[in-house]
Amino acid sequence: MPAPRRRRSALPLTLSATALLVPLATACSGGASDTDGGQRLRVVMAFPPAQAMSPYGDDAVTLSRLAVIEGLTTLNSEGAAEPALATSWKRDNPTTWTFTLRKAVFQDGSDVDPAAVVRSLNAADKASPGPRVLSDTGITATARGADAVRIVTGEADPLLPQRLANPSLAILSAAAYANGRVDPAGHATGPFTLASVKGAVSATLERNDTYWGGKAKAPGADVTFVADGTARANALRTKAVDVAEYVPVSQASLLGDGLVHAFSSARTNGLSLNTARGVFADPAMRAAAREAIDSPALVKAVYEGRADTARGLLGPGVTWAADARTAPAGRAKAAGKAQVAKTGQIVLATYTNRPELPEAATVVQQQLQKRGFTVKQVVRDYAQMEADALAGKYDAFIQARNTLLDTADPVSYLASDFTCDGSFNISQLCDEDVDTAVAEAAGTASTDARHTAAAAAEARVLATDALVPLVHERFVQGYDDTRVHGVSLDPLERTLITADTHVG
């Protein structure tokens, strides 16, 4: 975002849904046609840019969903690596791989050659803060002849081809690296070029006519960023946009089946409990919070049945998880209601960017209060609270996380969110047994054995009650399927607009 995601909004939270539609009318009106005769796409996105479209943060996901950037590889629907800017690869030894490059050019006309790939990958490895996908490994790239790159990892990494598909490891031209920042506008390789960005309000895309995969069907796209979910749904309803990202569940039934498209995901919405300080530093209090949560009630009251009850950290979008899962062992005994009532007020926080989360927070607050906790809510735009959440300033934090987002393998999620050195450890968890279990999973190459090890690590995390799973989301994207075609319904959240997306 949220990863979870995640973003800074320039729109004051006091604005009404109607007011939020003003940028839509300005930036997206008309659905203008290109001189080629094609119609430009009008897209509304949920998460405004937070890092000036830097590829090293979550803005990279937005660039990927808008088909602006690409890496050496991409992922198929099963999460396996497939060719992108690399046509093939081989593993030379446990830490060394060679990738053969395809003939392609950047949007600025320069060649995609080994020097460009080396520059991009090594810059990502040295970035501070670095991309989350590299939180559990390092990479060093060197040129190998005229059309190949050798990549060496700090430790054996059987997932390197999947890792290189992460949007934060996009390949950019030399011109992107100037003045101490990285600018993907006009310097990437995707079917659409990022032509301009107006702060956190809008962006303009133009077709990349030199795209190696063939010209996109749409001549371009006008993109508006609107955090308010009702405003996005209204824009779709009134035909102000062609595609609306993340339609709120509350709006889905109002829009009707022809405009909403729901599908299962790998996203788990969970309650992160601060294990380092405050009330939930006590394992017995975390256990009491877990026992207070009623997942089926959340599915019914908040998600109107358009979600799955919590099964663990890894939901039904991780297709193998149910068969591999083991029950957590060694959980603390939950504190009784009288003991809970003696504790001080806890701060329960979440963000507005996903419209169901504030509603979920209200239900969770009621469930915790029923158990005896005194609860204060804090709800703001995600970008306004991410730093505080990562610093452990909240007692409890409700967030939505795609457990396959970084590498299409949950081990990276487990490492970033629950290990002592994890880069997204909102629960502040530092548990030797968890670190050992995650490290064992990370070092396992065989697919079946890796699944078993990941399930064991999941059980170890759940045993700490650092995160209480709430529900597993189903994504809802909005577009009129009688006139808009080629929208990607991607459970990994990497793609939305593609070269095939068009109106007609």
Q: Could you tell me which of 169, 269, 237, 203 has the C-alpha nearest to residue 45?
A: 203
User: In Å, how far are 86, 163, 215, 269 from 112, measured between CA atoms?
Assistant: 10, 20, 18, 39
Of the candidate CATH numbers 3.30.870.10, 1.10.260.40, 3.40.50.40, 3.40.190.10, the domain formed by 17-68+190-247+480-503 belongs to 3.40.190.10
Instruction: Tell me the β-bridge partners of 265.
Output: none
Mean pLDDT of the region 183-190: 97
Tokens representing 179? 């003045």
Mean pLDDT of the region 215-219: 98
For the chain, give the longest Cα–Cα distance: 72
Tokens representing 51? 């890092």
Mean pLDDT of the region 239-265: 91
Task: Report helix, strand or coil for 490.
Answer: coil
Tokens representing 83? 């060719």
Name the range with the highest mean pLDDT among 57-61, 407-411, 436-440, 448-452.
436-440
- Write out the H or E segment, with its range, that includes residue 193: strand 192-198
Which residue would you say has higher pLDDT here, 441 or 18? 441
Is the domain covering 267-474 a CATH 3.40.50.1820 domain? no
d(CA 1, CA 16): 23
Write down the domain spans for the chain.
17-68+190-247+480-503, 73-178, 267-474
CATH class entry, domain 73-178? alpha beta
Task: Report helix, strand or coil for 498.
Answer: coil
Give residue 18's pLDDT.
39
Which residue would you say has higher pLDDT here, 454 or 11? 454
| pLDDT more than 70, % of the chain | 93
Give residue 32's pLDDT.
59
d(CA 270, CA 493): 18
d(CA 450, CA 409): 9
Which residue would you say has higher pLDDT here, 70 or 32? 70
Q: Could you tell me which of 373, 419, 397, 378 has the C-alpha nearest to residue 467?
A: 397
Mean pLDDT of the region 213-229: 96
Cβ distance 484 to 501 under 8 Å? yes
Which residue type occupies 308? D
Give residue 5's pLDDT.
38
What is the rounded average pLDDT for all residues in the chain?
A: 91
Give the up-direction half-sphere exposure of residue 232: CA atoms within 13 A in the CB hemisphere. Answer: 32
Asked whether the predicted pLDDT for residue 344 surpasses 90, the reply is: yes
| pLDDT confidence band for 467 (50 / 70 / 90) | very high
Cβ distance 74 to 83 under 8 Å? yes
**What is residue 103's DSSP assignment?**
P
pLDDT in tens, 39-77: 999 999 999 998 889 999 889 999 999 999 999 999 987
Q: Looking up tokens 């022809």, which residue turns up? A: 258
Buried residues in 393-413 as b, exposed as e (16+ CB within 10 A): bbbbbbbbbbbbbbbbbbbbb
